């Protein structure tokens, strides 16, 4: 990428930015683009990167989350399944600070009390969230989308001044490769397939070097081939990042899962390998008996 191309890209970014901000879809919820302030400073010496205990939240008297306890190890890829209305999205809303619980404890590592942080602060701490629908900037190229995710200050003047440094350029090249878009770097995001847009948005999160990624129904609407490639992508992220994946697609879960947590009525109904939870009578009952 030459300086001229970068300059032209910066100018286009400044022009498109305001319009693009309003053109994205995430059920009315914007993905955070803040960068972790000090990546890697999460205390996992106790072997847990995320820890929820006895968390409850009610909406108009209805308990959407009911004494939920759950923890995740560093580098783990945890799958969460459960019938509609089980509380999966609400759980992610609580972890990311979008919803405040009525009771309970939510810790990131052993020292960071997430309930004391706002939604943007939680993104900066290193928790990235991917909503179901892709939220890429359609008029910008793949490169520009990834570059944009590095910027903490989104003002027009700051956009014009922004220059990517060599470490960031290396990371961008690595992320492009990871998300299978190295050959599409100059393509406008709007021309990508649905699956490619999802990968690009995951790449935008990866640019921020999150410790924990929360992914809500990442393969919904993907082709079979895209679903398989997404499974490969997630398996390649495991270990370097911790992942929590909410999905209904059991063939996808089978490809990626170690431990599966089954949520029902706002709390953990069962946990184990996919074979174990699928053989559990209580799980069969909630999936088939309703
Ligand atoms: N803001 C809200 N106000 C009122 N009720 C809510 C609110 N958010 C969630 N609920 C209710 O809480 C319950 C859990 O919803 P949630 O979206 O977390 O479930 P889910 O497991 O993600 O479901 P799905 O698989 O359908 O996405 C549902 O009964 C839902 O209607």
- Residue owning the nearest CA to atom 29 of ligand 1: 85
Q: Which residue has the tokens 């006895």?
A: 54
Span from the CA of 34 to the centroid of ligand 1 (angstroms): 26
- Residue owning the nearest CA to atom 7 of ligand 1: 59
Please give the residue range of the domain that contains residue 26. 3-288
Task: Output the tens digit of pLDDT for each of the chain's 290 residues.
Answer: 444 444 444 444 444 443 333 333 333 334 444 444 444 478 998 889 999 999 999 999 999 999 999 999 999 999 999 999 999 999 999 999 999 999 999 999 999 999 999 999 999 999 999 988 778 999 999 999 999 888 765 566 666 666 788 888 999 999 999 999 999 999 999 999 999 999 999 999 999 999 999 999 999 999 999 999 999 999 999 999 999 999 999 999 999 999 999 999 999 999 999 999 999 999 999 887 65
pLDDT for 151 equals 76
> Would you call 22 exposed, middle or buried from its count of C-beta atoms within 10 A (0-12, 13-18, 19+)?
exposed
- Residue owning the nearest CA to atom 5 of ligand 1: 59
Pocket test for ligand 1, best of 28, 55, 64, 286 (most atoms within 8 A of CB): 64
- Residue owning the nearest CA to atom 3 of ligand 1: 59
- Residue owning the nearest CA to atom 18 of ligand 1: 87
Span from the CA of 141 to the centroid of ligand 1 (angstroms): 35
pLDDT for 182 equals 95
- Residue owning the nearest CA to atom 12 of ligand 1: 64
pLDDT for 160 equals 61
pLDDT for 6 equals 44
Span from the CA of 186 to the centroid of ligand 1 (angstroms): 39
Handedness of CA 156, 157, 160, 161 (dihedral sign): negative
Within the chain, residue ranges assigned H as helices are 3-23, 88-95, 119-125, 142-148, 156-161, 166-178, 194-206, 224-237, 250-256, 274-278, 281-288
Domains contained in the chain, number: 1
pLDDT for 289 equals 62
- In whole angstroms, what is the distance from residue 147 CA to residue 137 CA? 11
pLDDT for 153 equals 58
Span from the CA of 69 to the centroid of ligand 1 (angstroms): 18
Assess contact for 58 and 148: CB atoms under 8 A.
no
pLDDT for 131 equals 87
Q: Looking at residue 180, which CATH number applies to its domain?
A: 3.40.50.300
Span from the CA of 66 to the centroid of ligand 1 (angstroms): 12
pTM: 0.83
Ligand 1 site residues (CB inside 6 A) read 59, 64, 82, 84-90
- In whole angstroms, what is the distance from residue 146 CA to residue 204 CA? 5
């Amino acid at each position: 990428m030459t300086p001229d191309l970068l300059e032209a890209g910066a100018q286009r970014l400044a022009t498109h930015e305001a319009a693009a901000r309003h053109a994205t879809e995430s059920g009315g919820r914007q993905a955070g683009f803040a960068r972790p302030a000090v990546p890697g400073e999460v205390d996992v010496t106790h072997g847990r990167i995320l820890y929820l205990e006895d968390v409850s939240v009610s909406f108009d008297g209805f308990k959407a989350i009911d004494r939920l306890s759950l923890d995740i190890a560093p580098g783990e890829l945890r799958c969460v399944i459960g019938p509609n209305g089980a509380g999966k999205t609400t759980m992610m809303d609580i972890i990311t600070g979008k919803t405040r619980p009525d009771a309970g404890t939510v810790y990131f590592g052993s020292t960071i009390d997430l309930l004391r942080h706002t939604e943007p602060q939680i993104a900066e701490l290193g928790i990235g969230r991917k909503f179901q629908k892709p939220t890429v900037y359609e008029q910008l190229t793949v490169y520009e989308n990834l570059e944009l995710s590095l910027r903490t200050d989104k003002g027009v003047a700051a956009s014009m001044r922004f220059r990517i440094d060599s470490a960031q350029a290396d990371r961008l090249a690595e992320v492009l490769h990871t998300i299978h878009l190295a050959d599409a770097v100059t393509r406008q995001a709007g021309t990508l397939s649905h699956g490619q847009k999802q990968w690009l948005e995951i790449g935008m999160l990866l640019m921020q070097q999150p410790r924990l990624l929360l992914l809500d129904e990442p393969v919904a609407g993907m082709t079979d081939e895209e679903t398989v490639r997404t499974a490969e992508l997630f398996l390649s992220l495991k270990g370097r990042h911790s992942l929590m994946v909410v999905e209904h697609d059991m063939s996808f879960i089978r490809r990626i899962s170690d431990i599966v947590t089954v949520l029902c009525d706002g709390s953990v109904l069962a946990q184990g390998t996919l074979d174990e939870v699928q053989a559990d009578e209580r799980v069969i009952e909630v999936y088939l008996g309703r």
